[in-house]
Structure 1
Amino acid sequence: MRRLRASPTLAFAAVMFASALSEAGLPAALRSVTGPVLLQPRPASTDRNVALLPMVASGPAVTPKNASSINAALRREDGRVLNAAAECRASLREQTGRGSQDAWHRSVSIGMAGPRFLAFDLTDNYFCGGAYPNDGQTSLVFDLATGKPVNWLTFFPPGARGRQNTAGDGAPLGLVAWPELTRRAAAQAQPECREALSDAGYSGFSITLDARTAALIATPAEFPHVIQACAEPIHLRTEELRRLRISPVLIGALASARRLQR
């Protein structure tokens, strides 16, 4: 029996149709990339200042099992931030005698929606009392082939190490320690920031992916509050990733994701 091959034109049309479905009904802030992963909007949050993560629909880009696993993780993250926002308001009320619905803000953007990887970038701004407000960025990147958060050490060359940290809302974060990232961060840093990166073993880089520029983005994530402005992201595009011996799987996925952008 002869196996039929799909026409490249039809395959591209299918991806674009899937993208149109994924964007329909999503808030404008989430319509940031085109990709083969179908995303479905959530009902409005109980906290008007906290954006919820969209859900992943199974399809050609992700199996039902893996979509279910990713969605469970996304719901847990939504639960964490809603609890953190409620506790923040309670803390502010206890310290100042007044509560504020505006104590915690979260926005969500999509860095990549397939192939192979799904990247969400979360930005939190919050003031729960104390000397100063806080802000933070958290990246959630999933491997669509496993339905789990990406194990970056699978895609980095030997010499990289993994490390765990915690986001402001209590979410566990997987960070990467790699001397090459430390060297690049120090080279681009302002003079007053270089001391914080003087240790070649600095181990606080969070990783995300950007389909629009086909780039891996690494950001120092363990600076004290007083020098958080030093945390300038490092953008590594596909040619540089090849020179650094990053996995061809990751490079190929980024290149494919870039071609899908309008």
Structure 2
Amino acid sequence: MPLATLVAAVIAVAAPVRVAVPPPVRPGIAAYPRIAVPADDAQRRINAAVLRLDARVRTAARACLTGTGTHPGDWQREVNVTMRGPEFLSYLTSDDVDCGGAHPNTALAAIVYDLRSGAPVDWTTLLPTSLTGRLGLIDGEDEVKMVTLASPRLNALYRAGYDHGGDAAEEKECRTVIADEMRSGPVPMIAWLDAKAGELAVQFDLSHAEEACAETVMIPAATLRREGASLRLLDALAAAHARRDAS
């Protein structure tokens, strides 16, 4: 690789990216923010990937809104960029979906891109096996595949950091729900990067009857370091957090 190209690639990875928010996919359905001025092929690949994600939700929402349920469907989506470099671009999507069935559904979806490759991150290169556990795939509301991590240690950290935020009775009830979910083995969790906190965020889906207990838990950088997370991840989170604190 020519030196000038190599230097440009290093700068593109190390610097935060600027994102631009396109018009909604449909009324109420936010589009994925794009990298405003892609610096290299990796960033162009990310823009192409989120464009495909927008196409998927457009198709899924069309089917939902014209579905065969007992009442008209509705789909609302928010998309947040939770980290925009260095090294990683992290998205968190929140969907409120009612396709005419018995119950509406609220769900989170997360995807983290590697600014070096333009591909979704390989969590096994960033986190120790004790935290990644068994990798899996689950479908989002628009049937986009998301990587999940399922390990006893990650579940234990989730339970240790869990806070429902309600009164004592609600907290006890929800902690019982969480413990019951994990009783038969580690539950699969989605993960994303949070620059504001400088931490790894994790959450998992609960049934409709229990989804009020679903909470995001942040795993602090100090804990990630003790667990053996990669320096690349730790340094990127620290840099992103420092930038957010200064802004």
State the TM-score bracket (shorter-chain normalisation).
0.7 to 0.9
> Using the alignment, how far apart are the partners of 1:78 and 1:234 within structure 2?
27
Aligned-pair identity (%): 30
Report the CA distance between 1:40 and its aligned residue.
Answer: 2.4
* Counterpart secondary structure, 1:168: coil
Report the CA distance between 1:161 and its aligned residue.
Answer: 2.6
What is aligned with 1:192? 177
> Using the alignment, how far apart are the partners of 1:196 and 1:95 within structure 2?
30
> Using the alignment, how far apart are the partners of 1:192 and 1:39 within structure 2?
38
* Pairing partner for 1:41 from 12, 15, 21: 21
CA deviations over 1:125-179 (Å, ceiling 9, x no partner) = 0111121111111112101011001111111112323111110111110011121
> Using the alignment, how far apart are the partners of 2:239 and 2:25 within structure 1?
37
Contact 1:153–1:161 (Cα < 8 Å) also in 2? no
Contact 2:72–2:100 (Cα < 8 Å) also in 1? no
What is aligned with 2:53? 77
Contact 2:72–2:99 (Cα < 8 Å) also in 1? no
> Using the alignment, how far apart are the partners of 2:211 and 2:69 within structure 1?
25
TM-score for both structures, normalised by structure 1: 0.77
Contact 1:175–1:203 (Cα < 8 Å) also in 2? no
TM-score for both structures, normalised by structure 2: 0.82
What letter is aligned with 2:150? A
What is aligned with 1:153? 124
What is aligned with 2:69? 95
- 1:108 paired to 2:79: yes
Report the CA distance between 1:81 and its aligned residue.
Answer: 0.9
Report the CA distance between 1:206 and its aligned residue.
Answer: 0.3
Contact 1:186–1:197 (Cα < 8 Å) also in 2? no
What letter is aligned with 1:40? A
* Counterpart secondary structure, 1:260: helix
| Residue-pair matches, total | 219
What is aligned with 1:224? 207
> Using the alignment, how far apart are the partners of 1:246 and 1:231 within structure 2?
25
CA RMSD for the aligned pairs?
Answer: 2.1
* Pairing partner for 1:168 from 136, 141, 159: 141
* Pairing partner for 1:140 from 84, 98, 111: 111
CA deviations over 1:170-225 (Å, ceiling 9, x no partner) = 111001112111113344361233111123x424110011111101011123x332
CA deviations over 1:34-62 (Å, ceiling 9, x no partner) = x72021232x2351111111211456xxx
What is aligned with 1:239? 222
- 1:178 paired to 2:151: yes
What is aligned with 2:240? 257
Contact 1:165–1:173 (Cα < 8 Å) also in 2? yes
> Using the alignment, how far apart are the partners of 2:148 and 2:181 within structure 1?
17
Q: Pick which of 179-188 and 231-240 moved more.
A: 179-188
* Counterpart secondary structure, 1:51: coil
What is aligned with 1:65? 41
List alignment gaps of at least 5 residues for structure 1: 1-14, 16-34
Larger radius of gyration: 1
What is aligned with 1:3? none
What is aligned with 1:28? none
Report the CA distance between 1:120 and its aligned residue.
Answer: 1.0
> Using the alignment, how far apart are the partners of 1:191 and 1:95 within structure 2?
33
- 1:205 paired to 2:173: no
* Counterpart secondary structure, 1:148: coil
